[in-house]
A and B are shown apart, each in its own frame.
Chain A
Amino acid sequence: MDSLFPVTLTLNGVIATHEVSQRTTLADFLRQTVGLTATHVGCEHGVCGACTVFVDGRIARACLMFAIQAEGRDIRTLEGFAGDRRMEVLQRHFHERNALQCGFCTSGMLATAHQLLEGSPDPSREEVRESLSGNFCRCTGYHAIVDATLDAAAELNAATVAPEAEPAC
C-alpha cells in the first residue's frame, strides 16, 4: 500500500491540504482525491490535452505532474472559473456554436483558448488553429471550436473597446 504525504496548495482560490501518494498525478488527485471531474484524462502521457489546467496562471498538463509537485502552487481547474468573464464568454460561444459534441476535450480546449485570448486578444484564424493544436478533439473536426474562439474574442474585444469609443463629456 502506498504511503501518503501531505500537500498544501491553492486550489481554485482556496488554500487546502490533502494527503496524496507519491505516484498520484495531479490529474488523478483532482479527479479522485478532490472530486473535481471537469478535468479529464484522455492519454496520461501529455499528448491529448484533455487534462489541461492552470498551474500558477499558465496552462499545464495535469497528467504530467505529480500531485506532490503542486505543493505551494496555485492550481485552477475549469470549476474555478465561475465568474471569470473571459471564460464565461468562451463557454457561451462553445455552447451556441456547438463547438463540442461529447465534451470530453472541452475543459482542456477552453483552458487553452482562455490563455490564447489573454495573450492575443484578437487572434487570426490560423493563430487559433495553431494554438489549439495541442488539444485533441475526436468529435468536432475543430472548425466549430475555431469559430467559437473567434466569436468569443470578438465579443470580448467589443466589450473592452466600446467604452473608449464613447465621446467624453
Chain B
Amino acid sequence: MLKPDPAKQRDGAYVGQPVPRENARRLSQGRGRYVDDIAFRNLAHVAFVRSPHAHARILSIDTSAAQALPGVVDVVTGEEMKGLCTPWVGVLAHFPGLKSAEQYPLAVDVARWHGEPVVAVVGESRALAEDGADLIEVEWEELPAVVDAEAALAGDVPAIHPELGDNRAFRLEVGQGDTASAFAEAAVIAEEEFRFGRHTGLTLEPRSIVADFDPSLRQMTVHHSTQTPFQMQDVLARHFGLEEGNVRVIAPDVGGSFGLKLHVYGEEMAACALSIRLGRPVKFIADRLEAFQTDIHARDHLVKARMALSRDGEILAMEVDDLTGIGPYSVYPRTSAVEGNQAIRLMGGPYRMPNYRGELNIVFQNKTPMCQYRAVGHPIACAVTEGLLDKGARALKLDPLAVRQRNVVTADMYPHTSPTGYVFERLSHEECIASLASLMDYERLRREQAEARQRGVYRGIGLATFIEITNPGPAFYGVGGARISAQDGCVMKMEPSGDIRVMVSVTEQGQGTETIMAQVAATHLGVPLERVSVYTGDTQTSPYGGATWASRGAGIGGPAVMKTALALKANLLETAAVILQAEAGDLDIRGGAVVNRKDGTQRMELAELGRIAYFRPDTLPADFHPEMTAARHYVPQGYPFAFTNGIQASHLEVDVETGLVRLLDHWVVEDCGKVINPLLVEEQIRGGVVQGLGGALFEECLYSPEGQLLCGTMADYLTPMAGEMPDIHMAHVETPTLTSPLGAKGVGEAGTAAAPAAVMNAINDALSPFSAEVTQMPFTPERILTALGKV
C-alpha cells in the first residue's frame, strides 16, 4: 500500500505524497451531509406525473382529485409552468448548425420520451405528493415514436420537432490528407461496425435539490447535488429573472457525479419554480426509477469504420462514420454535440496517422436525453481505433504490443498535431507501453495463454492505448456563448491562530479535490497540512470559477491555489519582515513558522504573526497594513486542452459454452503529468476503469420497439459488483505539462476512456481460435454465443 513518506512531509513537501483525505475520515463515520440529509423547516416535496409513452400528445389533464387530496399543496401542469420560467435551448454557437427545440421544466402539449415530467405535484411529504400524482388523469394521443437512431433520418419518419424540419440535430465532417489513396495502397483494410449501447451514470446518490426562495428579498438558496454551482447560479438567475447575486447555490457532500450532475434537468428547474411560487422550500430527490428515466444517458453510437494498414503494420488512414442518438433534445447548457464531436476527433489520437476522414451525424429520437458522462466520446474513439488496429494486426500476424509500439507518436515529434487538429504538448506513449509490458509480464502471459488454449481454456489479452482530454480552455464552452467559466479562483487567508483557510472554486464529489488543494497550499505556503482547511461548493463564499468537470480540478484549480499560496506567503513575509526588522527576502516560512531563509532558524510562529497583525497592529509602523489574505485566478493557456495518455490491458477468460466473461486482471499505466497525490490518482483510475468495464460488459438502458424504457430498477440494469471485478494494477509515468507551474494535467476520465476497448480486444483475442468477434457493447453472454454461432 502507498504510505506517506514522513521525511518528505516534515520538509513540507506534500505534493506527490499519498496523503489520505480528511473527508474520507468523516464520511467513513457516517458524517456526510448530502442534500437529503439537511433539515429544513416548512419543507414541501415535489413528485411528478410522467409520460407513459415515448411520444404522445397531451389532450387533457384533470388535476381536480389531486388538488382535493389532504396533504397536497399545489399542482402545476406544463402549461402553467411555462409562466414561471423562461425556456432554454441546448445549442452553442461553436457547433454551427446544431439545432434543438425550446424546453420548459415540464412537457407542454407533447411528451417526447418515456418518463418525461408532465405535471408537478407538491405535497407535505413525498408520499403525499406521490398520492396526489396518482390521482391525476392525463388523456393521451399516442404519436409514432422514433426509437432507433438509424431510423431517425428515413424519409417517412416524422420529425420529433416539426419546426426543426427533420431529426438531424448536427452534422460534422473532419479530416486531413488523402484517405482514398491510402486505402488504395493498403496491404490490409480492417473494417468493422461497432455498436455502443446506452448506459447511464448511476450515481449512488440520486439527483437531489432543495430550492428555498425568500420572497421578501427575492433571494433563492439552492442546496444542490451538483458539480457546477456557478453554472447553476447563472442558469437559475437567468431563467427565473432573479439577480445573479440573489441566487446562492450550495453543493454539500455530493454522492457521485461523473458528468451526470452538471446538466439542466426539468425536475430541478421545476423545484426552483415551485419554491418561488409557494415561497417555501421545495425538495426533489430522484428515486431510482426516475434516475433511469431522466438522468442523462450516455454513448448510443453506431460507428462504421475502417483502417488502412501497410504490410508492416503502419496505420495509413482511418475513415469513420459515427451516428449517435441524443434523445429528443440537445441538453442544456453544454449541448449533446460534445460527445460525438470528441469521438470523431479522438480517433487514432495516439498514433502517427497521416490521413483521416470522420463524419458525425447526431439525430433526435424518443428516448431519454443523452449527454456528457465521464470520458465524453473517449471510449468510442478508443474502442474503434484499438479494435481496428487489433483486427489489422491479426490479419498481418503481428503482435498487438509491437504494432502499437510501431505506430505511436514518438518523443521526438512533440509538439504534435493530430489529423483532427488536437495539439499534444508532450505525451509518453513509448514509456507507457514499455512500462505496461513489464508490469503485466506480457511475454509470460502470452505463453500461458497458448498453454491454456491447449487445454481448451480460452483466455484473451487486450491492449488499449489512450489519450485523454483535460483542462479545457475557453474554446470548450465560453466561445460558443455558454456562461461556463474556463478559469478558477482561490482566496486564501491566515487566521489569528496561524491556521490557513482556502476557498477555491473547483468542487469536490469524492475524488479528493479538497485534499489535493490542501497539499498544494501547505507545500507552497510552508505550513503543516493539518493547519490548512479547504472550502468548496458555495457560490456565496467561494471565488467564481468553472468547478470540477472534464478532469480540470487539479490542472486548473491546482495552479490557482499554488499562485495564491505564493502570494499569501509573500504577504506574510512582508509583515514578518516589518515585525522582525529584517528583509523579507532573508525570511521564509517552513513548518508553520517564519524562519531565516539561509539556516532555517525559527524567528516566529505564524500564530505570533497573526496575533500581532490582527490584535496589535498599533505596534507596527504607521501606514503599514498587514495583508493576511490573498486571491489569485488561473486560466489554462498555451494549448486549447491538456492531454494525458497511457495504456490499459485486460486479461480475461471466455467460457465458450456459456458466453460468460471472467475478468482475471487489469493493468493501467498512465501519465497524468505531475502526480499530486498518488493514492487519489490510483483510485480515480480504478473507479474509472470499473465504470468502463460496466459499459463494456453489463450496463445497458434497453428500450422496447415502442420506446418504453425496460430498465427501471437496479435488478434489471446490471452493474459491476465487487465479485466480478478484477484487481487493477497500476504504474505511472510523469510528464508534467510545462504550461502550468504545477505540471498536473488531470486524471478523472482516463480509466473509463480505455477500459472498454481493452476488454473488447481481450474477448476477441480469446475468441480468435474460433474466428469469432464481438463489436457490440455490452458484451453479454448472448452476444458472445451469437458470435460463436451457438445461438
Which A residues contact B (CB, under 8 angstroms)?
Answer: 1-2, 21, 23, 31, 35, 37-45, 47-48, 50, 77-79, 91, 94-107, 110, 125, 128-130, 132-147, 151
B202 within 8 Å of A (CB atoms): yes
Neighbour of A101 across the interface among B1, B31, B202, B687, CB < 8 A: B687
The answer to whether A47 and B713 have CB atoms under 8 Å apart is: yes
Which of B20, B71, B288 lies in contact with A42, CB distance below 8 A? B288
Q: Chain B, interface size: which category?
A: 35 or more
Taking a contact as CB atoms under 8 Å apart, the answer to whether A141 and B723 are in contact is no
Q: How far is the CB of B389 from chain A (nearest CB, A)?
A: 26
Q: Is the CB of A142 within 8 A of B690?
A: yes
* 8 pairs from A and B in contact (CB 8 Å cutoff): A38-B29, A95-B20, A98-B683, A100-B24, A129-B722, A133-B721, A138-B719, A147-B1
Besides A110-B28, A140-B683, 11 more A-B contacts (Cβ < 8 Å) are A2-B127, A2-B128, A37-B32, A37-B34, A43-B713, A45-B715, A100-B28, A104-B256, A130-B723, A132-B721, A138-B719
Chain B residues packing against A (C-beta within 8 Å): 1, 20-21, 23-25, 27-34, 36-37, 39, 70-71, 124, 127-128, 201-206, 253-256, 258, 287-288, 509-512, 679-680, 683, 686-691, 713-715, 719-725, 727-728, 751
Would you call A102 and B28 a contact (CB within 8 A)?
no
Contacts of B714 in A (CB 8 A): 43, 45, 47-48, 136
Q: In angstroms, how far is the closest chain B Cβ from the Cβ of A155?
A: 12
Return chain A residues, CB-CB under 8 Å to B722.
128-130, 132-133, 135, 137, 142, 145-146
Closest to A101 in B: B510
* B715→A47 contact, CB < 8 A: yes
A77 to B31: give the CA distance in the assembly, Å: 12
Using a Cβ cutoff of 8 Å, how many contacts connect chains A and B? Answer: 179
Interchain CB contact under 8 A, B728 and A103: no
Interchain CB contact under 8 A, B28 and A95: yes
Check A138 against B202 for contact (C-beta < 8 Å). Answer: yes
B30–A141 touching, CB < 8 Å:
no
| Contact B27–A106 (Cβ < 8 Å) | yes
The residue in chain B whose Cβ has the minimal distance to the Cβ of A128 is B722
Q: Cα distance A102–B28 when bound, in Å?
A: 10
The interface residues of chain B lying within 8 Å CB-to-CB of A147 are: 1
Chain B proximity of A93: nearest CB distance (Å): 9
Q: Sorted from nearest, which 6 A-B pairs have the closest CB atoms?
A: A38-B30, A103-B27, A101-B510, A102-B510, A104-B255, A141-B690
Question: Closest CB-CB distance, A152 to chain B, in whole Å?
Answer: 11
A53 to chain B: closest CB distance in Å?
11
Cβ of B34 and Cβ of A104 under 8 Å apart?
yes
**Complex interface: chain A residues within 8 A of B31 (CB):** 38
Q: Tell me, rounded to whole Å, the shortest Cβ–Cβ distance linking A127 to chain B.
A: 10
**Could you tell me the distance between the alpha carbons of A38 and B689 in the complex, rounded to whole angstroms?**
28
Are A50 and B204 CB-contacts (below 8 A) given A44-B287, A45-B714?
A: yes
Q: How far is A135 from B204 in the complex, measured between Cα atoms in Å?
A: 11
Give chain A residues whose Cβ lies under 8 Å from the Cβ of B679. 98
Measured between beta carbons, the chain A residues less than 8 angstroms from B28 are 91, 94-95, 99-100, 103, 106, 110
Tell whether, in the assembled complex, residue B1 and residue A140 are in contact, meaning their CB atoms are under 8 Å apart. Answer: no
Are A97 and B288 neighbours in the complex by a CB distance under 8 Å?
no
Closest to B515 in A: A98
Chain B contacts for A39, CB-based, 8 A: 30
| Given A98-B680, A102-B510, A140 contacting B288 (CB threshold 8 A) | no
Docked pose: A83 CA to B723 CA in angstroms: 30
In the complex, what residue of chain B is closest to A104 when comparing beta carbons? B255
Task: Known contacts A94-B28, A103-B24, A130-B723; decide if A138 and B683 are in contact (CB<8 Å).
Answer: no
Roughly how many angstroms separate A11 CA and B475 CA in the complex, as a whole number? 55
Q: Is the CB of A143 within 8 A of B1?
A: no
Give the distance in Å from the alpha carbon of A78 to the alpha carbon of B26 in the complex.
12
Shortest distance between the CB of B286 and any CB in chain A (Å): 11
Contacts of B719 in A (CB 8 A): 136, 138
- CA of A78 to CA of B29, assembled, Å: 7
Q: Which of B20, B71, B691 contacts A138 (CB 8 A)?
A: B691
Tell me the complex Cα distance, A103–B24, Å.
7
- A43 CA to B213 CA, complexed, in Å: 29
B755: nearest chain-A partner, CB-CB: A141
Max count, chain B CB within 10 A of own CB: residue among A98, A128, A140: A98
Q: Which of A23, A130, A138, A144 contacts B204 (CB 8 A)?
A: A138
> In the complex, which residue of chain B has the Cβ closest to the Cβ of A145?
B722
Given A97-B1, A136-B714, A79 and B30 contact (CB-CB distance below 8 Å): yes
- Within the complex, the shortest CB–CB distance from B94 to chain A, in Å, comes to 32
Residues of chain A within 8 A (CB-CB) of B680 are 98
| Contact of B256 (CB < 8 Å), options: A41, A101, A143 | A101
- Name B26's closest neighbour in chain A (CB-CB): A103
Q: Is the CB of A142 within 8 A of B255?
A: no
**Chain A hits for B687, CB < 8 A:** 101, 138-141
Whether the pair A141, B127 counts as a contact (CB closer than 8 A) is no
Query: Known interface pairs A40-B255, A104-B255, A138-B204. Does A98 touch B20 (Cβ–Cβ under 8 Å)?
Result: yes
CA distance A11 to B34 in the complex (A): 23
Contact A103 B32, beta carbon cutoff 8 Å: yes
Q: Smallest CB–CB gap between B598 and chain A, Å?
A: 38
- A residues less than 8 Å from B512 (CB atoms): 98, 101
Q: Which residue among A96, A105, A107, A147 has the maximum number of chain B CB atoms within 10 Å of its CB? A: A96
Q: Whole-angstrom distance between the alpha carbons of A79 and B256 in the complex?
A: 22
Task: Using known A-B contacts A44-B287, A98-B680, determine if residue A136 contacts B204 with beta carbons closer than 8 Å.
Answer: yes
Q: How far is the CA of A62 from the CA of B713 in the complex (A)?
A: 17
Between B128, B202, B204, the greatest number of chain A beta carbons within 10 A of the residue's beta carbon is seen for: B204
Q: How far is the CA of A144 from the CA of B320 in the complex (A)?
A: 38
Q: Which of A21, A38, A95, A144 contacts B683 (CB 8 A)?
A: A144
Say whether B727 contacts A78, CB under 8 Å: no
Tell me how far the C-beta of B780 lies from the nearest C-beta in chain A, rounded to whole angstroms: 19
Residues of B within 8 A of A139 (CB): 204, 256, 510, 687
> Roughly how many angstroms separate A160 CA and B240 CA in the complex, as a whole number?
62
Q: Which residue of A lies closest to B254 (CB)?
A: A102
**Assembly CA distance A1 to B25 (angstroms):** 41
Interface centre among B33, B39, B690 (most CB of A within 10 A): B690
Q: How far is the CA of A48 from the CA of B722 in the complex (A)?
A: 12
What residue in chain B is nearest A103 (Cβ atoms)? Answer: B27
Are B37 and A95 in contact (CB-based, < 8 A)? no
**Closest A residue, CB atoms, query B205:** A104
Return B297 CB to nearest CB of chain A, in Å: 16
B255 proximity list for chain A (CB < 8 A): 40, 102-104
Query: B751's closest neighbor in chain A, by CB?
Result: A141
The residue of chain B having its C-beta at the shortest distance from the C-beta of A94 within the complex is B28
Counting chain B CB atoms within 10 Å of each CB, which of A23, A107, A110, A137 scores highest?
A137
Roughly how many angstroms separate A61 CA and B690 CA in the complex, as a whole number? 25
CA of A95 to CA of B25 in the docked complex: distance in angstroms?
5
Tell me the nearest residue of chain A to B258, going by C-beta: A138
Chain A neighbourhood of B720, CB < 8 A: 142
User: Which chain A residues lie closer than 8 Å to B715 at the CB level?
Assistant: 45, 47
Q: Is the CB of A94 within 8 A of B256?
A: no
**B-chain residues with CB within 8 Å of residue A133 when the two chains form the complex:** 721-724
Q: State the CA gap A130–B551 with chains docked (Å).
A: 32
User: Whole-angstrom distance from the CB of A79 to the nearest CB of chain B?
Assistant: 6
**B33 neighbours in A (Cβ, 8 Å):** 37
CB of B727 within 8 A of CB of A45, answer: no
CB-CB under 8 A from B39, the residues of chain A are: 35
Distance from B326 Cβ to chain A, minimum over Cβ atoms (Å): 23
* B204, A102: Cβ atoms closer than 8 Å: yes
Q: Which of B25, B29, B34 has the most CB of A within 10 A?
A: B29
A97 contacts which chain B residues (CB < 8 A)?
A: 1, 20
Contact status B253-A102, CB under 8 Å: yes
B29 → chain A closest CB, angstroms? 6
User: Which residues in B have their C-beta under 8 angstroms from that of A44?
Assistant: 287-288
Give the one of A47, A125, A146 with max B CB within 10 A: A47
C-alpha spacing A98/B727, complex, angstroms: 16
Q: A1-B71, A37-B37, A79-B30 are in contact. Are A141 and B256 (CB under 8 A)?
A: no
Name the B residues within 8 Å of A99 (CB-CB).
24, 28
Known: A94-B24, A104-B34. Is A23-B29 also a contact (CB below 8 A)? no
